[in-house]
Amino acid sequence: MPEPQTRTVVVLAAGEGKRMKSSLPKVLHPLLGRTLVGHVLNAADPLGAARTLVVVGHGADQVRAHLAGIAPEATAVHQAEQLGTGHAVRIALEAAPEVTGTVVVLNGDVPLLRPETVGELVAAHESEGAAATVLAAQVPDPTGLGRIVRDAAGRLEQIVEQRDATAAQLALREINAGIYAFDAARLRDVLGKLSTDNDQGEEYLTDVFKMLVSAGEPVGVHLAADHSETLGCNDRVELAALRRLLRDRVNERWMRAGVSLLDPETTWIDVTVALDRDAVVDQNTQLRGGSVIGSGAVVGPDVTLIDTVVGPGATVLRSHAVGAEVGPGASVGPYAYLRPDARLAERAKVGTFVEVKNSEIGAGSKVPHLTYVGDATIGEQSNIGAASVFVNYDGVRKHRTVIGSHARTGADNMFVAPVEVGDGAYTAAGSVIIENVPAGAMGVARARQRNIEGWVLKRRAGTAAAEAAERAQGASAGTSSASEGEPIHGTAESVGGRPGAGDTATE
C-alpha cells in the first residue's frame, strides 16, 4: 500500500453566476440548511485535508464572511479576474507554495456530492499513483457539459468542453463532473503551460489532462455511481430541481432510519436536522437549521420549526417556532408562535393563537389560547386565562413577569412587568396587575361595574336594540309579578362588582 498522502482541497467559488440574476454570489444560495459551497465543503471534510483553499472572486467579501462562519480554517484566495478554472487553481497554488501530495479540486456549485464519492475518487487516485484523476458520470442529457473522450483502449484521451467539441464528441454521454484529484508536483508543472487558445480565451483546467496524456503520465477516470451527485446549477430553475432531489434523498434516509413522513413530497428537512426513531412528521412541514425531533413526537401538519428542539412524545400542530424548546409530552398549537428562547417544560401546553418569547413555562402549566407571554417565568401546574398579555416593554427596556406554581390567572389579564404572582395565587378576570400578588391571594385590579338603567331607551330610541330591550323589560315585569313574594335563597360576596371570586380563567 502507498504511504498516505498529504491532501489539499481547492474549491472553485469565484464565479458570478449571471444566470442566477442575483446580488448574492451563486455559491451562497441556500439549499436545505447549507449554501451551495457549504455542501461542497461538507463533502470534502472527511478527507482530513491539511489545508482548504477557496478561490473567491465575484462577491469576494460576502463569500469570505460566510467562510468565516462555516469553515474558519479555510483560506480564501482572491481571483481578481476570472480567467478560467486552470487560472483559478494556479492562483490558489501560488498562494500556498508549500502544498505537496494530493490536490483535490471541487466546483463550488455541486451540492449533491456525497463525501463517500469524494473519498472513493481520492482513494482510487492515490492507490494507482496517478498524475490526475477525474470524476465522471453517465448522464441522460449531457448538453452544456464537458465530455470525457477515451481512446480505443478505453483510456482517457482528453476532456472537451461543450463549446469546443466536435459533433461526434457531443454525442458522448460520459461527462466531466468538474471534480478532480491531482499530484501536486505534476499539477504545478503543467499549470504553467496552459494556453488560452480556445473559444472562451480562458485557461481550462481540463487541458491539464490532455497535456499529461501527451507526456505519458498516468491519468485516471473514476465513475460516480449516481450521476445526480455531479449536477451543478446555473439558474434558479436548476437550483429548485437540485433542492427537490436533495429533499428526496434526505427524506428517504430518515424513513429508512425509522421516522414516519406521512407525505414526503411536502416535507422539507434540512440536512442539519436530527430526528429520533418513531418521530412522526405530517404533511406541509419544514424542519430547518439545527432542529431536533425526539422519539414519538408528532410534528405537523403545517408546521415550520427553525433551530427548535421537540422532546419525546411532544406534539406541534399548525405552528411556527424559532429557537424554541418543547419539552417531553408538551403540546403546541394549533396556530401558535414560539419565538427565540421560548421553553416549555414537560407536559406544558401552548394553545391556539398564543405567542411566547423568551419565557419558561413550567411542567404541566397551560397557556391555552389568545395570549402573549413575553419575558416571563411560569411555574408548574399553573393556568393562564384567555386573552392575557404579559406587558414586558416600557418603551426603553424589557422587564420580566413571574407567575408561581399552581397559580390561576383570570381571562383578559394584563401583567405589567416587573411583577410577580405567587404560588397558588389567583387573579380576577379583566384585571391589570401592576403590583405583586402574594402566594395564595386573589389579585383584583378592575373598576366596580356601574349599570345606567334605561340608557338605551333614552339614547338609542327607535333602534333594534331599544325594541329588544322593551320586549325584555316587559317579559321581565310579567315574571316578577308572577313570582312576587317567593323567598330568595343564598347570597354571594362581590369581588370587583361581580358575584363570586371564581371568575378567573378559562382552560
Cell readout for 347 is 407536559
201 CA to centre of own chain: 41
Residues in CB range of 20: below 8 A, 6 or more apart: 26, 29, 234, 235, 236, 239
Under DSSP, the state recorded for 228 is: G
Contact yes or no for 106/113 (Cβ under 8 A): yes
Active site (annotated) includes residue 320: no
The residue annotated as part of the active site, out of 39, 227, 369, 406, is 369
Give the torsion sign (CA, 485, 491, 494, 499): negative
For the chain, counts of helices (H) and of strands (E) = 10, 41
Cell readout for 457 is 331607551
What stretch of H or E contains 342? Answer: strand 342-344
| Cα distance between residue 169 and residue 48, in whole Å | 37
Nearest Cα residue to 371 out of 324, 411, 331: 411
Cell readout for 369 is 389560547
Cell readout for 334 is 394549533
Counting other chains too, the contacts that 423-432 makes at CB distance below 8 Å and 24 or more residues apart are 423/379, 426/501, 426/504, 427/385, 427/504, 428/495, 428/496, 428/501, 428/503, 428/504, 429/385, 429/503, 429/504, 429/505, 430/496, 431/496
Cell readout for 58 is 465575484
Residues in CB range of 415: below 8 A, 6 or more apart: 376, 388, 389, 390, 391, 401, 403, 409, 421, 433
3-state secondary structure of 155: coil
Contact yes or no for 380/475 (Cβ under 8 A): no
Under DSSP, the state recorded for 69 is: H
List the catalytic residues: 369
